[in-house]
Amino acid sequence: MKERFKVALAQISCKRADKTENIRKIEDNVVKAREQDAELVIFPELSLTGYTLRDQIYELAETIPGPSTRLLEKLARKMETYIVFGMPELSEKTQATIYNAAVLIGPDGLIGKYRKMYLPTHSVFEEKRYFRPGYQTAVFETDLGKIGLIICYDIFFPEVSRLTRLKGAQLIVCISASPAVRRTFFETLTAARAIENTAFLAYVNLVGIEDGLQFWGGSRLIGPNGKVLVKAKYDEEDLVIGEVNYVDIRPVETFVPTLKDLRPELFDKLKENAEKL
Amino acid sequence: MELTPSVLDIDWSEVETKIRRFIKDYVEQTGAKGIVLGLSGGLDSSTTAALSALAIGGDKVLGLLLPEQETYNTQDIKHAKLVAEKFGFKTEMIDITPALKVFYNTIPVFEKADKICKGNIKARTRMIYIYYYANRLNLLVCGSSDKSETMMGYFTKWGDVAADISPIMDLFKTQVRKLAQHIGIPKEIIKKPASPALWPGQLAEEELGIKYETLDLILYGLEHFMKPEEIAKQLGLKTELVEKIKHRWLYTEHKRRMLLTTKIEYRTVGTDFRLPRTLY
């Protein structure tokens, strides 16, 4: 397993409901990222289809594996790289049950997927109308270490990142489609999740305008001490490369030992009180 | 939450950028050749026209001055032309009086004393002119309605509010004034009292019965789910006044939503055709 590698944050805008065009853009970015020696290339939430799909989602959702993941598997094999992207996942057992999924693909093909647990359905968001929530966190052992996947609004719930970290993730990848009015929240929470879990956190957000919603970009790689290692532009497409070096986790873990100091008995109390809210 | 004027203060550079990007993106996505909008010489249309010109270039923006006899105001026309010159967009002036007279003379139940009904004919006639230009020249209609008048329903249904995009609709009137100042709209336009000019001497604040500085804070409070009593207490107003504003806001929702029918079939137009506004 590599202790040290480069990761590319591919902050793209999507052409809504046009998977062919979006896959082409994903390919372009993977090629460019590989030229800069990145071994993991991360794309935003629902980057296969665009975010604001509403009822069109029923025509666009695919199973995993499915036609689109197979195309991207080919790309990952050819480019010998790891790719994370987002897509609406159609359940294999149904015809209209859809998850908001993050997919991890590697040089040997499909590695795994994560289904978004927290679906925002307030303000401009209507995810619960369309998606079934996931029930599992997702951590995958790869040549690039243990990689955990979370999606956007999940970051407001520290337990998702915590559980992902407790399952061993050293790098938490958060893919996102966050509109501009929420920028401060994400800028704060991405750093907080990295610090409290002493893990690397790669946040990749969408850009562009969909139905009047302007996505703010600002993708970033954050070190386990909360330091922003690289940051993409606000509001515009960008591709930035940062370096993950897991050796950096150790000094932070000794300096602020949040995992050592974890109190499991509090989780029972959390559960008890959350039920009574 | 404390309801002080500072709650309405936002980063005006960022707002300008967002609005310009929104306009440019929408024009590009739809493949339109530019923008057409009604230009009254007032704050809202001057600001919207200027932002459109900043977004896509003045050569692609056409401001239509559509005066009519009863409310003809040389100062407003001067102001409209002043903004056009400063921001470099095109204008055209058409006197709509003859068209209005045809309506007045041919509507059997026309009542000239009913100034609201008559005024609405003016707003809707302007809409027809603007949309004709849009259709003929492949332009998008850009609306100039602000959030204060939109929330109050203080507009003509299918009239001045009719547009393809409404870039300043999420900004209260007092916020539009600040944005206007930020982008360099001439002071005399920002300072003059707002008027829909549907009849001579019509003034928005007089008709609404409240100053925009107060109205905007009430609406901001309502937007943030504050209770009328709390808003009234904080602003030193009578609760009945805030209740009245709230009632007017809710009562006029029908003017802000299109295509109402009754549910009969599987997916109903308006209520559950949930589709993106544009294809891309």
Chain B residues at the A interface, defined by Cβ less than 8 Å, are 17-18, 21-22, 25-26, 267, 273-280
Radius of gyration of chain A (CA): 18
- For A103-137, b/e burial (b = at least 16 CB within 10 A) is bbbbbeebbbbbbbbbbbeeeebebeebbbebeeb
B275/A56 CB distance under 8 A: yes
CA separation for the pair A197, A164 (Å, rounded) = 9
Tell me the chain A residues in contact with residue B15 when contact means C-beta distances shorter than 8 Å: none
B274/A55 CB distance under 8 A: yes
The H-or-E segment that residue B35 falls in is strand B34-38
Tell me the chain A residues in contact with residue B273 when contact means C-beta distances shorter than 8 Å: 55
Furthest C-alpha separation in chain A: 53
**CA of A129: which chain B residue's CA is closest?**
B274
Q: How many residues does chain A have?
A: 277
A55 closest CB neighbour out of B17, B275, B278: B275
Look up residue A239 and give its amino acid.
L
Q: How many residues does chain B have?
A: 280
CATH of the domain at B79: 3.40.50.620
**CA of A14: which chain B residue's CA is closest?**
B280
Interface test with A, best of B13, B16, B25, B268 (most A CBs within 10 A): B25
Give residue B135's pLDDT. Answer: 98
A214/B21 CB distance under 8 A: yes
CB atoms within 10 A of CB A44: 32
Beta partners for A208? A215
List of long-range contacts for B194-197, beta carbons under 8 Å, 24+ apart: B194/B42, B194/B43, B194/B44, B195/B42, B196/B119, B196/B123, B196/B154, B196/B155, B196/B160, B197/B40, B197/B42, B197/B71, B197/B73, B197/B76
Range of the domain at B171: 5-204
The H-or-E segment that residue B61 falls in is strand B61-65
Number of structural domains found in chain B: 1
User: What are the φ/ψ torsions at residue A238 (nearest 5 degrees)?
Assistant: -160, 160
Position B224 in a domain: no
Let me know: does A5 contact A246? Beta carbons within 8 Å.
Answer: no
Position B216 in a domain: no
Q: Domain spanning A4-275 has what CATH number?
A: 3.60.110.10
How is chain A split into domains, by residue range? 4-275
B276/A54 CB distance under 8 A: yes
Position B220 in a domain: no
CA separation for the pair A210, B133 (Å, rounded) = 27
Give residue A149's pLDDT. Answer: 98
What is the sign of the dihedral through the CA atoms of A169, A191, B10 and B22?
A: negative
A209 closest CB neighbour out of B21, B267, B274: B21
pLDDT digit of tens for each residue in chain B (280 aa)?
899 999 999 999 999 999 999 999 999 999 999 999 999 999 999 999 999 999 999 999 999 999 999 999 999 999 999 999 999 999 999 999 999 999 999 999 999 999 999 999 999 999 999 999 999 999 999 999 999 999 999 999 999 999 999 999 999 999 999 999 999 999 999 999 999 999 999 999 999 999 999 999 999 999 999 999 999 999 999 999 999 999 999 999 999 987 777 778 888 887 788 888 777 6
**CA of B23: which chain A residue's CA is closest?**
A212
B276 closest CB neighbour out of A18, A52, A214: A52
B274/A54 CB distance under 8 A: yes
Tell me the chain B residues in contact with residue A211 when contact means C-beta distances shorter than 8 Å: 276-278
Q: Please, what is the end-to-end C-alpha distance for chain B in angstroms? A: 38
- The nearest CA of chain A is from the CA of B277 a distance in Å of 6
Position B241 in a domain: no
A211/B276 CB distance under 8 A: yes
A211 closest CB neighbour out of B17, B267, B277: B277
Torsion of CA B153, B159, B160, B163, to 10 degrees: 100
